[in-house]
Amino acid sequence: MKYNLKSVRAYLLKEDFDGFWQYTSAYHAGNYLDRWCNRTMRSKIEPMKKVAKTIRNHRDLILNWFKAKKAYSSGIIEGLNTKVKLTVRKSYGFKSYKCTEIALYHSLGKLPEPKLTHRFY
């Protein structure tokens, strides 16, 4: 700490940002976010300043998480998106779009597979 290294200051700013997620009110979280961005912009650490600019540009969208009472996460959407991309990649070479569509229905909806007339052992 006594050396005042940029890496130490950047680490402290990153750790200080964790306090942002402890708020329950969008108003107070917004004030905290504004103060953190101001401190980060004055830090003269270019990568951190870039992060602060991005956060400022998306401030309202970030604060929507507090307005929704922290009930929604984009993790579910990201998981579905990954599953869609994987299924489309696997369906490369299908003769029609309809086959890809059916593959998507089966992978995303976990629809039952049709019974085969033959059993393979």
Examine the domain organization and report whether 63 and 36 are in the same domain: yes
Examine the domain organization and report whether 58 and 85 are in the same domain: no
Examine the domain organization and report whether 31 and 49 are in the same domain: yes
Domain count of the fold of the chain: 2
In a domain, 94, yes or no: yes
- Whether the per-residue pLDDT at 118 is higher than 70: the answer is no
Examine the domain organization and report whether 10 and 63 are in the same domain: yes
pLDDT of the residue at 66? 84
Examine the domain organization and report whether 10 and 59 are in the same domain: yes
Query: Whole domain around residue 84: which residue ranges?
Result: 75-109
By CB atoms closer than 10 A (0-12, 13-18, 19+), residue 56 is middle
Examine the domain organization and report whether 58 and 82 are in the same domain: no
SS3 labels along the chain: CCCCCHHHHHHHHHHHHHHHHHCCCHHHHHHHHHHHHHHHHCCCCHHHHHHHHHHHHCHHHHHHHHHCCCCCCCHHHHHHHHHHHHHHHHCCCCCCHHHHHHHHHHHHHCCCCCCCCCCCC
pLDDT tens by residue, 28-86 = 999 999 999 999 999 989 999 999 999 999 999 888 888 887 666 677 778 888 988 99
In a domain, 32, yes or no: yes
In a domain, 82, yes or no: yes
